Amino acid sequence: MIMFMRNFKFLIFLALIGIGCNEMLPPYINPPQPFGAIMYHYPPYKLIDTLLIFEDHYFEPPKISYIDSTILFRIGAVHQYEEVLQDEANISGYLEIYDISQPERVARVPIDNRNAQSQYISNGIITLAKGDTFWLSVSWNGKFPNKVYPVDGKRRSEIPGTGGGLADYEIINFRAKSYIQLFRKVGGVFTNETEFKVVFRAIMRWPP
């Protein structure tokens, strides 16, 4: 009985300590995100992009190859803290693009220090005061991985007066979003989603 009472008192003591500790600890609040982020298709006044491709009908099925043309995006990390942030640039992230009508078709473009286009970086060091926007420029070449082409399964119309030499595929609607991180010790942030339209114009190569 004495041993039982001792154990019982000890358990009550531990319970009281636990209650006291729980009362002393304030609820955890996530720290505010130091950055906001914005992204837009560039230039913003361009309603539809045109990307040129070769469509070689010497092969069956026709072989598609790309001309060196790209779609550009501007991505900005907006500093929201009162304090100045200064550290070595360690930019990472990605731009992700998918076909709205076939969202399983996804392209991902990596982002790193080479994408920086900002006055706030010098000799590899980024310095940002409150309200500064650190801009990056990212381009997409119109390709999906694993030899999936955006025009696969899309309708094509010959451009009149070209003798079958040029054809436009139907307009494709895409969505893009990105994730960026500027510093190793500061978390990254997602941008808004933006929509854009692309026409793939095929230069046709026919056998004689």
Report pLDDT digits (tens) over 56-111. 998 888 899 998 789 999 999 999 988 899 999 999 999 999 999 999 999 999 99
Can you give the length of the chain in residues? 208
CA distance 107 to 98: 6
DSSP 187: -
Token pair 């069956």: residue: 60
Average pLDDT over residues 152-167: 94
pTM: 0.79
Mean pLDDT of the region 5-21: 48
> What contacts 24+ positions apart, CB below 8 Å, involve 186-192?
186/34, 186/35, 186/85, 186/87, 187/33, 187/34, 188/35, 188/92, 188/93, 189/33, 189/35, 189/36, 189/37, 189/77, 190/37, 191/37, 191/38, 191/39, 191/75, 192/37, 192/38, 192/39
pLDDT band at 53 (very low <50, low <70, confident <90, very high): very high
Q: How confident is the prediction for the chain on average, in pLDDT? A: 86
In which band, very low, low, confident or very high, does the pLDDT at 23 lie, cut at 50, 70 and 90?
A: low
The H-assigned helical ranges of 25-78 are none
Q: Which two tokens stand for residue 7?
A: 């154990």
User: Residue 12: what pLDDT?
Assistant: 52
User: Going from the N-terminus, what domains does the chain have, and what CATH number goes with each?
Assistant: 33-205 (2.60.40)
In which band, very low, low, confident or very high, does the pLDDT at 5 lie, cut at 50, 70 and 90? very low
- Say if strands 85-88 and 125-128 run parallel, antiparallel, or are unpaired: antiparallel
